[in-house]
Amino acid sequence: MTNNPDSLQALSARFPGHFLWGVASSAFQIEGAASADGKGPSIWDEFCRQPGATADGSDGQVACDHYNRLESDLDLIAALGVQAYRFSISWPRIQPAGSGAINSRGLAFYDRLVDGLLARHIQPFATLYHWDLPAALQREHNGWADRDTAHRFAEYAGLVARHLGDRVRSFATHNEPWVTATIGHELGHFAPGVKNRAVAMQVSHHCLLSHGLAAQAIRAARVDLDVGIVVNLSPVSAATEAAADELQAAREDGLLVRWYLDALLRGGYPADVLEYLAADAPNVRAEDARLIAQPLDFLGVNYYHPVVSTVNRPFSPARTNAAAVTDMGWEVAPAKLTELLLRIDRNYELPPLFITENGAAYRDTVVDGKINDEDRRAYIESHVSAIADAIEHDVDVRGYFVWSLLDNFEWALGYSKRFGLYYVDYPTQARTLKHSGCWYRNLTTAFHRLAYGGEAAAGSSKPA
């Protein structure tokens, strides 16, 4: 029923003709080739060497071997019928020690990637930082805790924009700066594994500052580029009506949502959050607020699950006994995505939005060479429909990227969690399209038929 052409057509008809369907990945999670062609180590290469850092003791040395399988992986992207591919650029491939001259062999990989996408009529959406900081910047300069890293990032962003800007129109500076700051520097579950709230908030400020400086550098490189940032947002609610839980929810919303959106879109951090942080609030210079709030051509929103707050278990993803959860333990709540989009649309002057990540991990089993991941397919369908609901309420969402193209390295959880539309058999690196991927291809095909009158071959693009 779900693959029924009528229901696919009805769903795709809820999106405007200019809507972009895409799929997403990130460098460290798929590329492997950790020291190939002059690439320097990243903080994740080093973090993975610490005992117990990843659940399965794994690392990103090989990952999906995407670096060496680029052409055939590009064919897999095209076979989904998507018009857009979101990928990230590995800073230590471009500048092995985080500053100075370009490593041209590293850059050549992204030339091949971008050219390969364009040859297949797929628009490249590049993200400049998806957590793989050059390790030298951490070791010698204290990483994002040091203000200089923001300037180095802007230099790197300018270099990349000058080189790829003739073919890549869309550049996101950071992916999920909340994760860099809070999971990397307060909770310490992710690289570089620091556990200090004051450091985390300074890191957050430097990431936002680096976004602003990078936006200026990208625009100085070329005036015709679209510059944005990708944030992870969740609607936050209190677990109970107890005042302590309500207060915790307001704080978590402040730190996760308003801290970032206020700085980016209103030119300042929320006063209640600064007050709550007290001595842990970051050092901020007078000019910083203006630097951070550069005009945005788009805002990327990554959504996976809502957050239910309680003082007893601060900052843990929502989990109620009644709710369906994914293999990450994340509550499946598509209506909360609509709620989130309506709320930020109401409260901020938003640029056009892209849902830059959404998807689900489930335990896949291969039966007779097939992966019948109905749970993942249903997750994606319900969230696509939730986005259509938001669009019908006049929220300007321009595109949707499924996380992820391939099963891949899920950070501290290693290879134990599978998010891909393609199943990866790691020992052989064979890729198999899952039932969810098949459904997604049918959706993009139905959309193309409707929007462009029957011209629906996989990989075909919309007219400019």
Asked whether the beta carbons of 21 and 12 are under 8 A apart, the reply is no
Is the CB of 256 or the CB of 293 nearer to ligand FCB? Answer: 256
Is the CB of 156 or the CB of 411 nearer to ligand FCB? Answer: 411
Is the CB of 54 or the CB of 175 nearer to ligand FCB? Answer: 175
Least distance in Å: CB of 24 to ligand FCB? Answer: 8
Asked whether the beta carbons of 228 and 169 are under 8 A apart, the reply is no
CA 231 to chain centroid, in Å, comes to: 7
| DSSP line for 368-398 | TTEE--HHHHHHHHHHHHHHHHHHHTT--EE
CA 303 to chain centroid, in Å, comes to: 9
Whole-angstrom Cα distance, residue 71 to residue 91? 22
Catalytic residue among 31, 46, 331, 357: 357
Least distance in Å: CB of 22 to ligand FCB? Answer: 15
Whole-angstrom Cα distance, residue 70 to residue 112? 8
Least distance in Å: CB of 278 to ligand FCB? Answer: 28
Is the CB of 15 or the CB of 419 nearer to ligand FCB? Answer: 419
What are residue 226's DSSP bridge partners? 170
Is the CB of 158 or the CB of 420 nearer to ligand FCB? Answer: 420
Place of tokens 């570089």: 192
Put residue 114 in one of left, alpha, beta given phi > 0 → left and psi -120 to 50 → alpha.
alpha
Is the CB of 165 or the CB of 334 nearer to ligand FCB? Answer: 334
Asked whether the beta carbons of 208 and 260 are under 8 A apart, the reply is yes
Least distance in Å: CB of 192 to ligand FCB? Answer: 17
Asked about 252 being catalytic, the answer comes back as no
Nearest to 166 by CA among 222, 110, 250: 222
Output helix, strand, coil percentages for the chain, rounded to the nearest 5: 45, 15, 40
Least distance in Å: CB of 242 to ligand FCB? Answer: 29
Residues with Cβ within 8 Å of 158's Cβ and at least 6 positions away in sequence, in order, are 214, 217, 218, 220, 221
Q: Which tokens go with 229?
A: 């940032």
Catalytic residue among 176, 186, 252, 331: 176
Whole-angstrom Cα distance, residue 329 to residue 320? 10
Is the CB of 55 or the CB of 102 nearer to ligand FCB? Answer: 55
Asked about 186 being catalytic, the answer comes back as no
Least distance in Å: CB of 232 to ligand FCB? Answer: 5
Put residue 208 in one of left, alpha, beta given phi > 0 → left and psi -120 to 50 → alpha.
alpha
Residues that bind ligand FCB (CB under 6 A): 26, 29, 175-176, 179, 232, 302, 357, 403, 410-411, 419
Least distance in Å: CB of 406 to ligand FCB? Answer: 12
Least distance in Å: CB of 303 to ligand FCB? Answer: 10
**End-to-end alpha carbon distance in the chain:** 34
Is the CB of 120 or the CB of 305 nearer to ligand FCB? Answer: 305
Q: Cα separations (Å) of 334 from 298, 301, 402?
A: 22, 14, 14
Residue 300 phi, psi (nearest 5): -95, 130
Residues with Cβ within 8 Å of 104's Cβ and at least 6 positions away in sequence, in order, are none
The residues carrying an active-site annotation are 176, 357
